[in-house]
Structure 1
Amino acid sequence: MNDLFGTGYSNSYDLLYSDKDYGVECDLIVRAIGEYGLNPTRSILDLGCGTGNHALPLARRGYEVVGIDRSEQMLALARTKARDLNAGKADFNSGDIRSADLGRKFDATLMMFAVLGYQLYNEDVLSALRTARQHIRPGGVLIFDVWYGPAVLNLKPSERAKVIPIPDGQILRFADGNLNISDQICTVNYRLWRIKDDRVITRIEESHQVRYFFPRELDLLLESSGFRRVRTSAFPEFEREPDETTWNALVIAQTA
């Protein structure tokens, strides 16, 4: 397997998730900030920012957004998009969300697209949450999404295939997964084939391990990091509570 979010996967990332409605997700983030965050909120820290698909739309809405990610390939794409889109105040930095220290505070912090779930062990989850707490002003809000344990156990990972047309051919992505129930980890194996002239010209394989969470577990982890959970909703269905059919849940926490 290649390194996680390696060059090949990163270069295909925005194509793979071109059907994901980041605009709607940013609407929910803005709503959550308005209902639970500081007024006014001007600055946002995006931990695990990837290629900037939340940071850049939020910057265009007038927020100052600083992103941190470990993947240099993803950061390079984010910086290129920021220049091309004239995205406003968006800055992207290399770093580990478990230990990053920017030496400043923000009004709100994000960890979107299951970023917290990529922290597999309790010490890693707590370190990431404490990084968020260290960078939030008193009264600020932390917003993140997770794979919701009751739904993961009910629905279970399945085999999936996705076809993405590109100008000179297509990309095929195959995914299959399995659960380690005792460790609360879902492993998803991705295979990407780039097709041109009916031939496979590149093959990329990555195996992603993602932790899933339960509500009281989240409460304990958040409280141990200086937060209190104030809302959990289905994601992106903000008005609905998560249940055993809701793979993704949005969590909003305030500084304790």
Structure 2
Amino acid sequence: MYEEFAQVYDDLMREIDYKQWGDYVFRLLLNAKNEVKSVLEFGCGTGNITSELAQKGYAVTAVDLSEEMLTVADEKIAEQNLGDVRFFMGDMSNFQIGEEFDAVVSCCDSVNYLPDKAAVQNFIYCSQDALKSGGLLLFDINTPVKFKEVIKDNTYVYDLDNVYCVWENSPDFEAGRMDYDLSFFIKEEDGRYSRYDESQSQYIYTVEEIYHMLKNAGFMNIKIYAFGTFLQGSNECDRVQFVAEKK
């Protein structure tokens, strides 16, 4: 997954306001019991949130499963001359680094890519192991209503300067899964287009399921916000933000 997609990911996701997203994460981290200086980011992708966190002065350690995504992220950080960032290739549901951080962050519905509840619970345990006492765990998910009423079985076509992409959604709500099939054409230096095909899947979890997993791991002061706000979130929101504190 993401082998060729990493080349065009930022073009296809250009409508996302990463600065606004980073500002929201920053405001959430301001509520931590202890001052946040170090952040472990899971599912960093091409480093857009990584960049925002580094610009705000955090020492960031960023992890992703895709070597190609990490390559793009590393180049991005280097171009911006943001030095206090480390990258690791790893699985967010099975990652150990032997250090403790003030906060663990995962953005852009990365948790929805974890294939079952056991993987989500393991991600929460990995995050707990990586946190200092009083540290914060922050992550967001797409909710069931977003998968059913927004994403559903839509097809999207992106016609950009150097890439043409057809993105098809195929829901399997009984299995709690959304499959994405992508065909994209990347313009080469000689003007010809190369075609690549890729498939991805996201998995559907309820707010209650995630809440109980956090409780099972011993997290406290669990907050569930409608994304982008500090208002109570629920399964009826498109996206919810979880904030939990390690004892």
Q: TM-score, normalised by structure 1?
A: 0.88
Match of 1:118 among 113, 117, 121: 113
Distance 1:132 1:60 in 2: 23
Q: For residue 47 of structure 1, what is the aligned residue in structure 2?
A: 42
Contact 2:63 2:90 in 1 (8 A): yes
Q: For residue 192 of structure 1, what is the aligned residue in structure 2?
A: 184
Structure 2 unaligned runs (5+)?
Answer: none
CA deviations 1:126-166 (Å, max 9, x no partner) are 1111111110111111111111113323332411122222x
**Residues 1:249 and 2:244 aligned together:** no
Q: For residue 174 of structure 1, what is the aligned residue in structure 2?
A: 166
Contact 2:106 2:139 in 1 (8 A): yes
Residues 19-168 of structure 1 mapped to structure 2, 5 A cutoff: 19-35=15-31, 37-155=32-150, 156-165=152-161
Shift of the alpha carbon at 1:234? 2.8
**Residues 1:214 and 2:224 aligned together:** no
CA deviations 1:168-194 (Å, max 9, x no partner) are xx3122212122223311112122123
Match of 2:225 among 223, 227, 233: 233
CA deviations 1:44-76 (Å, max 9, x no partner) are 000111121111221121100001111111111
Q: For residue 2 of structure 2, what is the aligned residue in structure 1?
A: 5
Amino acid in structure 2 at the alignment position of 1:209: S
Q: Aligned in 2, Cα 1:157/1:233: closer, same or farther, shift over 3 Å?
A: farther
Q: Aligned in 2, Cα 1:221/1:244: closer, same or farther, shift over 3 Å?
A: closer
Contact 2:143 2:236 in 1 (8 A): no
SS at match of 1:78: helix
Q: Which runs of 4+ in 1 moved over 6 A?
A: none
Amino acid in structure 2 at the alignment position of 1:87: L
CA deviations 1:65-94 (Å, max 9, x no partner) are 001111111111111122211113111111
Contact 1:154 1:244 in 2 (8 A): no
Distance 2:43 2:177 in 1: 19
Q: How many residues align?
A: 245
SS at match of 1:213: coil
SS at match of 2:75: helix
Structure 1 unaligned runs (5+)?
Answer: none
Percent identical pairs in the alignment equals 22
Q: TM-score, normalised by structure 2?
A: 0.91
